[in-house]
Amino acid sequence: MKIVFYLITLITASLMLPQIATSQVYDMYVGTYTDGTKSQGIYRYTFNAGTGQAQVVSVTDSPNPSFLARFENRLLAVNEGGGQDATISLFEITPKGLTLVDKSTTLGDHPCHVALDPAGNIALVSNYSGGSLGLFSLVDNRKHLVLHDLMEFDGSGPNTDRQQQSHIHSAFFNNGLAYVSDLGSDQIHVYKPSHDGTGLRNGVLQLEEKTVVYTLEGGGARHVAFSGDGSTLYSLQEITGQVAVFKFEGEEWALKQIVPIFGDGFEGEHGAAELKVSPDGRTLYATNRGDANLIVQYDILANGTLEWRNQYGVQGDGPRNFNITPDGRYVLVANQKTNQIVVFQRDTISGDLSDTGTRIDVPAPVCIIF
């Protein structure tokens, strides 16, 4: 009898070991809006992937840090304001919190997005109201920001309320190229960053335009995501609440599919906010604000096209950015208007989501990064 009990105990312990081994605690940073809210700025948490719980570590004062990017021990935040209040802040990540090491104006109103190249040396800042893109380098052991160029765009679209001019909403890096979405003109400009070989500190850094991807007229191109091999591009259409799917064929991106971020029979205002591909490359998720307040789920097929799988209420109002934990086990959705991050558990096989019931209270959250 003792032998049987010992064997049962041993088997139970061995079954528990993989879960314990894979449980991980992640650093998590949340960008917010501070104007007219109770937010102080950037919130740092530890997120336990074993329990799905978050613990606040520190809060850093920063005005309207609406979008964040991170490379190793450096964190960038755009400060979404106008005029001299339109800035980008560079922080050092320390055990005690964030330390501001440099700050620069973006020379364009309401910067709403920042992206770092994979090497952590180049930053692209999207100025929404200014309709421009700032090209920065991080130099001197990433302690200083150098503005190399400001690219100003002149475009418009058929939606007279939202597209009177260019509105640069984001830039994403993929396979050495930068994809810059202009919500105002329904275009994605594709650039190759290059410099003259004398170094980023004093040399000339520039963006060479390679091509333009024309998205849906009146759709309002906002963000992009890519398939694992980079051959399929997913463009989020903010105004119409859709995802446009492009495949790279020959020397250009060809439109292959248009799918909705809303269920059958939906009538109301759209506000598509974010889309991401899961770490395993099998699932695409996208959020829709406005009257929908949904996160939708699509299976990614072998050819890169999408197949509808499910939709989920976000258990709040105003879903903005969301993120997937690096292990693929959780999806965290920032509900700006209801001042909470909702934690969904993710089935790593099917990609299906289930509400954990966990809520992270934070004022006006709009961006989550790990």
One-character DSSP codes across 38-53 = S--EEEEEEEETTTTE
Instruction: Name the residue with higher pLDDT: 270 or 194.
Output: 270
Tokens of 8: 């049962």
pLDDT given at position 197: 57
Split at pLDDT 50, 70, 90, the class of 15 is very low
Mean pLDDT within 242-268: 95
CB of 113 within 8 A of CB of 106? Answer: no
CB of 33 within 8 A of CB of 42? Answer: no
pLDDT given at position 199: 54
Split at pLDDT 50, 70, 90, the class of 203 is low
Task: State the pTM of this model.
Answer: 0.92
- Tens digit of pLDDT for each residue in 138-160? 999 999 999 999 999 999 999 99
What letter does residue 159 receive in the DSSP assignment? -
Mean pLDDT within 312-341: 98
- Whether residue 7 has pLDDT greater than 60: no
- Whether residue 6 has pLDDT greater than 50: no
Mean pLDDT within 133-141: 97
Nearest to 340 by CA among 313, 315, 310, 306: 315
Mean pLDDT within 175-183: 97
Mean pLDDT within 104-122: 97
Nearest to 150 by CA among 122, 170, 130, 169: 130
